[in-house]
Structure 1
Amino acid sequence: MEIPLHRLNPAPAHRPPLTMAVDMPLPASRFLDAVELATLNRIGDHLCPGQPDLPSFSAAGVVSEFDRIAPGMHPRDLADLRLLLHFIARLPSPFLMGLLKLSHAASTCQWPVLAVLRQMEIGLSGLCYSLYYGFTQPASGPLIRDALHWDATISTELPGENEMTELIDLANPLKTTQDDWVSTIYQRAQTAQQRIGAMPVAERLNYLRRLKNILLARREEIVGQVVKESGKSRFDALVGEIFAVCDGLDYLLKNAGKLLKDEKVPTSIAMMGKQSRICYEPLGTVLIIAPWNYPFNQAIDPIAISFVTGNATIFKPSELTPLTGLVESVLQQAGFEPGWVQVVYGDGQVGSQLIDGKPNKIFFTGSVATGRKIASKAAVSLIPVELELGGKDPMLVFEDADLERAVAGALWGGLTNTGQSCTAVERLYVHEAIYDTFKAKLVARARQIRIGIDLDDDMGPMISDRQTAIVRDLVEDAERHGARRLTGEQWNGIDRRIPPIILEGSSHAMRINQEEIFGPVIPIFRFRTEAEAIQLANDSSFGLSASVWSKDMTRAERVARALVTGNVSINNVMVTEGNHYLPFGGTRDSGIGRYKGRYGLHNFCNMKSMMMEKMSGKIEANWYPYTAEKYRLFDQLTTGLYGGGLSHFVRFAKAGLGIESLAAKLWKKGR
């Protein structure tokens, strides 16, 4: 079923009619001329015509916000857009309507010949929906969002936490109490889930296919918003938020159909005549509470898994990186109906209230401390939880490793996303035979890292003053106890632009090697033997990820198997989480459950076991009534079935026939 992209739910009945002048003068733009702006308004009115209580695209005046999007566009994309707008400007309205309908139909088709139409649909509608749902002016913005049921609660901001992010305070459309808004969200989700759950998996995948195409077309816009709110470099945003998400969607498109089919499994010979299968059914409503370090990735990835498995989703982004309006915009453009995914903005208190609504599953990514609180709260109602928590990931470099590759891997693994990744290298162990050479190369390369958010920069600033202070406290504590910086000596402990810090001379007794740093700091150690390296790597309360570097693959695998962790990369770093065919998750304080891969997909399902056989008059051997003779025969059946060998199997068959005959006679007699 294809959902018209412009369809809006009616506004709440108590809303007064909204009137706005449609013929308002066009704004000036640094990027588009008057003809192009007018054409964009024409296209927007076809896609977002409004309702009696809602403004049309042009009436909302959102075309004036184009200059906020344009700087994040690639210059070539902007030039192509201008050419397309000039071409469309010459088209009569009937032709324009036909072209938009044709391009919309082409967006779900994979024929290469229709690629131009697909890109036109994705690019134009993506732009219009971004403006309409993301930048609607105050007079109409909350009304549109309320009518669509995307924004359900009041968002809050933590003062001083993140100057780069401005959150929007959205009034509750129904003027309900705090308890009422939670109930409203869950009631809406339950209604939506019936629609989603009734869809064939193939139909759900059609929505994800459109979503992937939309993300590709709007990648520069998405990267721009992520960079603005998180401070990460543009390259990190492109790789971690666009490439990784598209790869995850691609995995689902290729595999979810077969992985969610009923699975036939073998049946024991003792239950001959019966068939066994596993049915993968929706859980109901999934609550996703996301972190700030990969805000778009940790939104779309779990939302897509929740949706394809047939669940309704309630999504709460971090208050530090809410990406306000972006997730709603791409989902709406992909045809998701309101209620299928509800985005709720707010802080930890809002998350706690959402747990009180008793979802059917909680998927949380974040700190250990918050994970413990969520698990404790969920346990009261026996709500299943999946916790993707912190890490203290070790990297073990043996004497035969390729030095240049290992240094490059350590540098990227410890500093990517400014070290604000749960699988970042936080402890670097290097064999004593190569330690000095390795250290010299690592220090030299670390000093070359460029800090900033431009295309040629390697590492962005920290997300917040609070996170910066955590890094400062851990580094200063280590220095007080004898550690020394090999790089980053110039950092004042306040500036969010923390240079790479290579730290030598720390010990496992120090806080910096027990607590998660979540910043661009790499403590380096030397080791002598394989056993010592394993002991040091396992000396942690965490167990999320690790890497082992050696040309001796037998040794590398032996060491990898000895590490207490959920993921290990051999001669690479942080790659296990990039392969969506692998389950991802940790042990110890690093979390509960597995995410991604077939196991992660099935964790969002109710795995229902089913056994079937044709109706007959047969009485099972283990049913009432019991007698001494039935006990003797069942004992022979047990030893015959599991004793092994041909003679035992013959005994099993003979006992089986005898007990079936006896069971029928006993039932017929009544005792």
Structure 2
Amino acid sequence: MSNTTANVEFSPAQVQDATRRIDYLFALQQKNRWAISQSSAKSRIRKLKKLQDTIFKYKEAIQDALFADFRKPSAEVNLSEIYPTLNEIKYAIANLENWLKPQSVGTPTALLGSSSYVLPEAKGVCLIIASWNYPFNITFAPLVSAIAAGNCAILKPSEFAPHTARLMAEMIAEMFPEDEIALVEGDTEVSKYLLEKPFDHIFFTGSTQVGKIVMQAAAKNLTSVTLELGGKSPTIIDETANLEEAAKKIAWGKFTNAGQTCIAPDYILVQEEKEELFIELLLAQIQKFYGETPQERLQSPDFARIISEKHCNRLATLIGKAKGEGALVRIGGTMALEDRYIAPTVLSEVKPDSEIMKEEIFGPVLPILRYKNLEDAISLIQSKDKPLALYIFSQNGKNVDQILAQTSAGGTCINDTLVHYFQHELPFGGVNQSGIGKAHGYFGFLEFSNQRAVLKQPTRFSAAQLMYPPYKNEVKTLIDFSMKWI
């Protein structure tokens, strides 16, 4: 299939058609939301199983679409797009009945006689806006949570992965009526129009810059948001780390999907005495994964392409500026921009205040900085925005505890990279600039649910009535007693 990215420009007529369709779909789903919200666990499970079966049916088509968009290897599609989505579905199916049960809570002394519970209820009509880097997974995984929670949903995939977006539109139309789940294609103008609607929840995956725009738009309607963003995810390698294992796992975590992963290791902080050996092992691992020579790596069937020429040019500029500031290219650095290829690239002698250390790289370029004391590495991390992920390679428990205590991140892996994404018992998401809210499993279900507080007073009399007005002396005495003892 072609390696070129399809035209992502939408004509004014196409945008106008899309906005009319959005008006229609939003009204349709608003009308149907209450029926969907009252659906049973069995009904929602049937929908999830239908989604599961359809994904298996379209497996090869999904692989073809992602190859067309950025030449992603089929094995990588299975591992990073299809498997985590199916895992999300299976986990929801296995646990949904328990998630939907009212959760009883204790009763304080002042409210003796009453009972209370938390009832998860659907938020209503939700908007899911997905990014292009894992377009299938990032669109369908939150949809699983939305369905489990009993919502209607409109999906807006990225226009930068048009083949995948088109395929997902076909799949959604086959699986669901439009008054329940629908997909809208379009560019940023279509996204802006969607954000004007008073959705009950917005789940957005993308850059921090666009996340701010989404949050600002949501604020106008007091819409709750989940923002899955990104940032510069650091990796610390201390003097006790198993360097061979670290090199293998970092090479995989960084160069999967050509580095276009929001939780990819963005830069390495390695203890100065271990730097050269680590770089040597890292280079050997890159050669093992993708080929010994630059030409072999260019022709490797296991290395994806950058999504667009624009992103290629941005990465090329970052590499050029880093070299101009004294950075050394230890491997890679070769490019074939017409093929949207940038080789797996490792830089050393990178200055902490260089351009490449100021913005998320989001590509196959890995800066390495050395540190003398662990406090220096921690200080550098503290000076930057809180990242979506932080990776620690160490055999020293005290070092690990110190890093965890003195940094903040959405998630952390110790002696591995990326794999916390696949652990559905853990919440996935960022903190502050790297995101708001959590996804996956029960945490994703909660994001698309309102935790409704319910108190039931079964008797005609309650203890609180003893403190009703008029506030005579005995009532005041009881209130004072309650403040002190109850």
SS in 1 for 2:413: strand
Provide the residue aligned with 1:470 in structure 2: 314
- Give the deviation of 1:382 after TM superposition: 1.3
Question: In the alignment, is residue 212 of structure 1 matched against residue 52 of structure 2?
Answer: yes
Question: In the alignment, is residue 316 of structure 1 matched against residue 145 of structure 2?
Answer: no
CA deviations 1:78-128 (Å, max 9, x no partner) are xxxxxxxxxxxxxxxxxxxxxxxxxxxxxxxxxxxxxxxxxxxxxxxxxxx
Q: CA contact under 8 A between 1:276 and 1:610: conserved in structure 2?
A: yes
Provide the residue aligned with 1:165 in structure 2: 6
Percentage of matched positions with identical amino acids: 28
Provide the residue aligned with 2:451 in structure 1: 607
Structure 1 residues 181 and 211, CA, compared in 2 at 3 Å: closer, same or farther? closer
Structure-2 separation of matches of 1:277 and 1:399? 51
Provide the residue aligned with 2:123 in structure 1: 283
Aligned residues: 480
Provide the residue aligned with 2:346 in structure 1: 502
- Give the deviation of 1:283 after TM superposition: 0.8
Q: CA contact under 8 A between 1:548 and 1:560: conserved in structure 2?
A: no
- Give the deviation of 1:528 after TM superposition: 2.0
Structure-2 separation of matches of 1:275 and 1:560? 39
Q: How does 1:99-110 map to 2 (within 5 A)?
A: none
**Correspondent of 2:477 among 612, 632, 640:** 632
Bigger strand fraction: 2
Residue 315 of structure 1 aligns with an amino acid whose one-letter code is L
SS in 2 for 1:543: coil
Structure 1 residues 168 and 336, CA, compared in 2 at 3 Å: closer, same or farther? farther
Listed as ranges, the gaps of 5+ residues in structure 2 are: none
Structure-2 separation of matches of 1:244 and 1:535? 34
Q: CA contact under 8 A between 1:366 and 1:388: conserved in structure 2?
A: yes
Residue 27 of structure 2 aligns with an amino acid whose one-letter code is Q
**Correspondent of 1:353 among 190, 193, 199:** 193
Q: CA contact under 8 A between 1:501 and 1:522: conserved in structure 2?
A: yes
Question: In the alignment, is residue 259 of structure 1 matched against residue 94 of structure 2?
Answer: no
Structure 1 residues 374 and 406, CA, compared in 2 at 3 Å: closer, same or farther? same
Structure-2 separation of matches of 1:494 and 1:562? 44
Q: CA contact under 8 A between 1:230 and 1:292: conserved in structure 2?
A: no
SS in 2 for 1:232: coil
**Correspondent of 1:418 among 247, 258, 275:** 258
SS in 2 for 1:434: helix
Residue 513 of structure 1 aligns with an amino acid whose one-letter code is M
- Give the deviation of 1:221 after TM superposition: 2.2
Provide the residue aligned with 1:528 in structure 2: 372
Q: CA contact under 8 A between 2:173 and 2:182: conserved in structure 1?
A: no
Structure-2 separation of matches of 1:176 and 1:486? 50
SS in 1 for 2:46: helix
**Correspondent of 2:441 among 597, 619, 641:** 597
**Correspondent of 2:84 among 244, 250, 269:** 244
Structure-1 separation of matches of 2:397 and 2:380? 21
Structure 1 residues 310 and 572, CA, compared in 2 at 3 Å: closer, same or farther? same
CA deviations 1:288-327 (Å, max 9, x no partner) are 1110001110111111111111111010110111324422
- Give the deviation of 1:640 after TM superposition: 2.1
**Correspondent of 1:450 among 280, 283, 290:** 290
Q: CA contact under 8 A between 1:292 and 1:318: conserved in structure 2?
A: yes
CA deviations 1:455-514 (Å, max 9, x no partner) are 973311111001111111211111111112111243366652111110111122112111
Structure 1 residues 633 and 438, CA, compared in 2 at 3 Å: closer, same or farther? same
CA deviations 1:147-175 (Å, max 9, x no partner) are xxxxxxxxxxxxxxx933367989999x9
**Correspondent of 1:513 among 321, 345, 357:** 357
SS in 2 for 1:507: coil
SS in 1 for 2:352: coil
Question: In the alignment, is residue 224 of structure 1 matched against residue 64 of structure 2?
Answer: yes
Provide the residue aligned with 1:371 in structure 2: 211
Provide the residue aligned with 1:5 in structure 2: none
Q: CA contact under 8 A between 2:389 and 2:411: conserved in structure 1?
A: yes
Q: CA contact under 8 A between 1:234 and 1:453: conserved in structure 2?
A: no
Structure-2 separation of matches of 1:229 and 1:503? 28
Q: CA contact under 8 A between 1:453 and 1:460: conserved in structure 2?
A: no
Structure 1 residues 186 and 277, CA, compared in 2 at 3 Å: closer, same or farther? same
- Give the deviation of 1:448 after TM superposition: 4.3
Which moved further from structure 2: 593-602 or 583-592?
593-602
Provide the residue aligned with 2:222 in structure 1: 382
Q: How does 1:32-47 map to 2 (within 5 A)?
A: none
Q: CA contact under 8 A between 1:419 and 1:520: conserved in structure 2?
A: yes
SS in 1 for 2:230: coil
CA RMSD across the alignment: 2.7
SS in 1 for 2:425: coil
Listed as ranges, the gaps of 5+ residues in structure 1 are: 1-67, 69-161, 642-671
Residue 341 of structure 2 aligns with an amino acid whose one-letter code is R
SS in 2 for 1:401: coil
Structure-1 separation of matches of 2:297 and 2:117? 52
Structure-2 separation of matches of 1:223 and 1:461? 14
Residue 471 of structure 2 aligns with an amino acid whose one-letter code is Y
SS in 2 for 1:302: helix
Structure 1 residues 583 and 402, CA, compared in 2 at 3 Å: closer, same or farther? same
Structure-2 separation of matches of 1:400 and 1:241? 34
Structure-1 separation of matches of 2:326 and 2:237? 24
Question: In the alignment, is residue 574 of structure 1 matched against residue 418 of structure 2?
Answer: yes
Provide the residue aligned with 2:334 in structure 1: 490
**Correspondent of 1:304 among 144, 148, 161:** 144
Structure-2 separation of matches of 1:171 and 1:526? 51
CA deviations 1:253-302 (Å, max 9, x no partner) are 11222112211111212211111111111111101111000111011111
Q: Which has the higher contact order (CA 8 A, sep 6+)?
A: 2
Q: CA contact under 8 A between 2:126 and 2:154: conserved in structure 1?
A: yes
CA deviations 1:399-449 (Å, max 9, x no partner) are 221121100011111111100011011111111232211111112332444
Question: In the alignment, is residue 588 of structure 1 matched against residue 428 of structure 2?
Answer: no
Please give the TM-score of this superposition, normalised by the length of structure 1. Answer: 0.67
Structure 1 residues 177 and 428, CA, compared in 2 at 3 Å: closer, same or farther? closer
Q: Which has the larger radius of gyration?
A: 1
CA deviations 1:188-224 (Å, max 9, x no partner) are 1113323322210221112212322332343222112
- Give the deviation of 1:535 after TM superposition: 1.6
Q: How does 1:127-146 map to 2 (within 5 A)?
A: none
Structure-1 separation of matches of 2:56 and 2:405? 38
Structure-2 separation of matches of 1:332 and 1:585? 29
Q: CA contact under 8 A between 1:394 and 1:547: conserved in structure 2?
A: yes
- Give the deviation of 1:621 after TM superposition: 2.6
Q: CA contact under 8 A between 2:25 and 2:178: conserved in structure 1?
A: no
Provide the residue aligned with 1:409 in structure 2: 249
Provide the residue aligned with 1:273 in structure 2: 113
Structure-1 separation of matches of 2:253 and 2:307? 18
Q: CA contact under 8 A between 1:390 and 1:542: conserved in structure 2?
A: no
Structure-2 separation of matches of 1:331 and 1:453? 37
